[in-house]
Amino acid sequence: MEQRRVRVRFAPSPTGPLHMGGVRTALYNYLFAKKHGGDFLLRIEDTDQSRYVSGAEQYIVDALAWCQMGIDEGASVGGENGPYRQSERKPMYKQYADQLIESGYAYYAFDTPEELNEMRERMKSAGVASPQYNAVTRSGMKNSLTLPAEEVQKRLNANEKHVIRIKMPRNEDVKFEDVIRGWVSVNTNNLDDKVLFKSDGMPTYHLANVVDDYLMNISHVIRGEEWLPSAPLHVLLYQYLGWDTHMPKFAHLPLILRPDGNGKLSKRDGDRLGFPVFPTNWTNPETGEKSSGYRERGYYPEAFNNMLAFLGWNPGTTKELFTMDELIESFSLDRVGRAGAKFDFDKTNWFNQQYLRKQSGEELAPQLKPLLAEVGLVADDSYVANVCELMKERATFVKDILKEGRYFFEAPTSYDEKTIKKKWKESTPEIITELRDLLGSLNSFDPESIGACFKIFLEEKGLGFGAVMPGFRVSVTGLGAGASMNEIAALLGKDEVLKRINIALKTIKK
């Protein structure tokens, strides 16, 4: 049989910002598509108008762009299988619901919300824990299976409110092979007569999802585990619509769990534990509530993707750092686990640190410059690049370079109290003065010369490192710890170092 072209879709509902679990689903779809030379589609599932949130679709498009997932077909880029917004596909669905009715796999139901409630109450008092509209209860309800044909027709002609439900068969096993979970078998006695078509003329998620996957020629449905219970219904719809041979392969991804492994990671966990759960910032247009995103917190999309890729997948080796191309190369659904994947915020930071360190000072400088400008600091490019090169080992984010190394751009305005208290002895001013004079006599002011000078100074004076270095450091940087003083001093330059020592000698009082 000819191999089917790989076509996958990410199909979010625009009900709010994209949770990072959603971004992971998108990423796995994207990686799978690109690995197999296939297409990655973005389909907006907006059939539930009551849950529509304005701005959410744009948010999704922007977030995928930030994560560098190129969309092959979708509302924002077009394509041959559009429209890619389900609300714009509205006229396409009805015929399939009608087809199911004609072939006896679906029926009209006219029950009012009150009648549905009554049925549920009745079942509950008869001891049924979660009452459903199903093969048992449907016979007592108002639908085209119980009402005479003329009455059904009359109600339809009168445009009476109704839905179309699937007629779930009794006691049949629905089986399908999930790429990640293996064979899944569910007995239809556990499934209800789901609504396929709503009274507002819109299909429900289930019908629209299957129809669109078919019409868009989707080969693999890769989505979150929460959709696994819906999969048997979808499999039946493929059969009932006569599309068996076009049924996509299903792959249900494991949940993303809280850091302690207890339950699914939610937005509230992020708020509570202080990490973002969204890729980018989001402001709820209705409430004005703000949620922070990884992008604005200073994370690199490469680091974010790399972290997400590992939430459920592993390459089978010890290699952890993967560029997007390497992820595409290595990704396979065979190596996606079934067990929930614990989110680890420290690991996320670690990934960011690794991506920061991989960059040269020249690459980091343009990232630091706007942050400097924000606080009114300026310096030339090569100097900023040198600072970045020196400081990147101590940083997780570019902003850390400013936080830890502000002294590179302005003289200290205060001196670390703890260091002064512990290390600034009565003899320190004299020692530092002598050191200053020795440094002042150096012809070349590079790290090696400064280091050698410092060593000679200690030897000649018979002093220990601890008697000189903390005083020197605090005078020049204001801090008690940091990068190598030889490097710092060399970067600042002789004049600046001597100037700072002079100020410190005048300012620091015990």
Which phi-psi region, left, alpha or beta, contains residue 171 (left: φ > 0; alpha: ψ -120 to 50)? left
Residue partners of 136: CB distance under 8 A and separation at least 6: none
In one-letter notation, the amino acid at residue 145 is L
Minimum distance from CB of 53 to ligand GLU (Å)?
12
Read off the DSSP letter of residue 483: S
Whole-number Å distance between alpha carbons of 305 and 30? 11
Rule CB under 6 A: which residues touch ligand GLU?
A: 11-13, 45, 205, 209, 223, 227
- Gap between the Cα atoms of 270 and 276, Å rounded: 5
The least CB distance from residue 181 to ligand GLU, in Å, is 16
How far, in Å, are 14, 119, 202, 217, 222 from residue 48 at the CA level? 9, 25, 8, 23, 21
Query: Shortest gap between Cβ of 43 and ligand GLU (angstroms)?
Result: 8
Residue 242 CB, shortest distance to ligand GLU, in Å, is 21
Query: How many other CB atoms are found less than 10 A from the CB of residue 170?
Result: 11
- For the CB of residue 224, give the shortest distance to ligand GLU in the complex, in Å: 6
Q: Which is nearer to ligand GLU, 11 or 432 (CB)?
A: 11
Q: Point out the catalytic residue in the list 198, 267, 494, 499.
A: 267
Identity of the residue, 254 or 471, whose beta carbon is nearer to ligand GLU in the bound complex: 254
Label residues 33-45 b or e (16+ Cβ within 10 Å = b). bbbbebbbbbbbb
> 161: helix, coil or strand?
coil
Residue 399: active-site member? no
Beta carbons of 193 and 138 less than 8 angstroms apart: yes
Give the span between the Cα atoms of 264 and 340, in whole angstroms: 8
Q: How far is the CB of 10 from ligand GLU (least distance, A)?
A: 7
* Closest CB to ligand GLU among residues 208, 324: 208
Query: Distance between CA 144 and CA 106 in Å, rounded?
Result: 9
Q: How far apart are the first and last CA of the chain?
A: 85
Contact 201, 90 (CB under 8 A): yes
Cβ(251)–Cβ(178) under 8 Å? yes
CA-nearest of 268, 270, 264 to 348 is: 270
Q: Which of 211, 217, 250 is nearest to 232 (CA)?
A: 250
Nearer to ligand GLU, 25 or 306 (CB): 25
C-alpha span between 23 and 35 (Å, rounded): 18
**223 vs 369, beta carbon nearer ligand GLU:** 223
Give kind and range of the element (H or E) at residue 256: strand 256-257
CB of 211 to ligand GLU, least distance (A): 12
| Orientation of helix 485-492 relative to helix 381-391, angle to 10° | 180
Least Cβ distance, residue 179 to ligand GLU (angstroms):
14
198 and 204 Cβ atoms separated by less than 8 Å: yes
Q: Collapsing DSSP states into helix, strand and coil, what is residue 138?
A: helix
Residue number, 205 or 294, with CB nearest to ligand GLU: 205
Catalytic residues: 267
